[in-house]
Structure 1
Amino acid sequence: MIELTIGNQGRYAEGVLAVATLTLPATTEAVQAALSHIGVDGRRYEEIYIAQCETPVPGLAARIGEYESIDELNCLAALLETLDGNGGLDKFEAAVTLGEYTGSVKDLINLAQNLDCYDLYPGVTDEEKLGYYMIDEMCALKIPEEIQGYFDYEAYGRDTFLNETSEFTDRGYICNNGGSFIEHYSGRDDLPEEHRVFAYPKEKEATRSILATLKQHREAAPAAHSGKEKTAASHDER
């Protein structure tokens, strides 16, 4: 749903471009693999930035900043997956174009959960089509049959458009229907545990093994030294 190109902020400051692709929603292991690829280990390098964002929802990438939370974006991507396939993604796309509740990833998460506050009329892409839709489909106004040919549907559609919080989009005409918008998500403390996937890579097993071997060697060294002293003493006694 959301494909990110993430980069190592520290390496970028040093003049080195280190980037990796991360597709959301993702698992913690996938995030760790991407961070490991660009050298972000939580010790020498901790900060990342979003170099590029791609998504099938037009206009959405432009709403995502360079330093967004991976966990929040993971939550948004998971919500968009649930909308795909039942027309919900089309409505979300149109709602993003309308521009309400799109100022932050937090807003977008809430928008994805409040699409019942919007009505989408597919195929209605201009004022004349809106006029016909409102009269023929919504029965908003009864036009006597003998004057239907003279009625200005475009003007009626224009009046409707101007009196609603609405927009013509590639997916059709969308308008705010006045429903109650509920803030389900108020910040990162509300983030469901399954969407908390950001974690630095674990220390490599090989590194731990080497350190353990060196420790064992250091601990064994004094014992070996004592043994030589004892042997030498035995030789003198002879």
Structure 2
Amino acid sequence: MVARMSRRWFMSGAALVVVAAPLLVPSPAMAAPPRPDMVTVDSEEMDPAIAVRAKANPDLFEAVLSQVDWLATAKGQTSSPKAANLGPKFTVVVHIGEQPKQTYDLYPLAAGGPRAFRPAKQPDKRKTTNAWFYGRLNMSETLRAAGVPLPERPETLHGGIGGGERVFDQDTLNPGRDLDKLLADLREVLLLNGAVVLAITLGLAGISLLVRRRTR
């Protein structure tokens, strides 16, 4: 009797494992979506296009990808600039495997700062809209590091949250010039204070002289 009950429990447990096994295996729909592993940069002046692969150069790949990965779902930040103010255009295409998924146009030398454009027509056929954005300030140097023929811009300082860098004028970073200016300003303040004290002293002396004459 005990053996028969044990056999039944064993058979019930085995059947439960067979039924539940497919539920324990993660389905393809639940698996994490594949990440981009290559970006290409192209323009009318470049032949062939530059390809940056995650495996070959992960740091450079992440740097170039960071220029455009936030544009996929972002809302437009600016109206369409004048074409004459945009400068050269560089098209960045994001790939997964060998399949292009996203495409964006970057204008690192645009007047007033870098610009980025997201076209409504995307390689992966997803629905989106045309939109213009303010690009990151290190766009030019990042593309240049990838091999894009752009002029060097050493005034662009890297580091900052989310790619937000600050651009300083060369004079701003000159402590000697600032010290000289500080001393000159201090000298002017001292001279001005001295002139005020002298004027007050002469005024008091004149008043004292007038009072002495009237009291005689």
TM-score, reference length from structure 2: 0.24
Greater C-alpha Rg? 2
Q: Which has the higher contact order (CA 8 A, sep 6+)?
A: 1
Query: Comparing both structures, which one devotes a greater share of its residues to helix?
Result: 1
TM-score, reference length from structure 1: 0.22
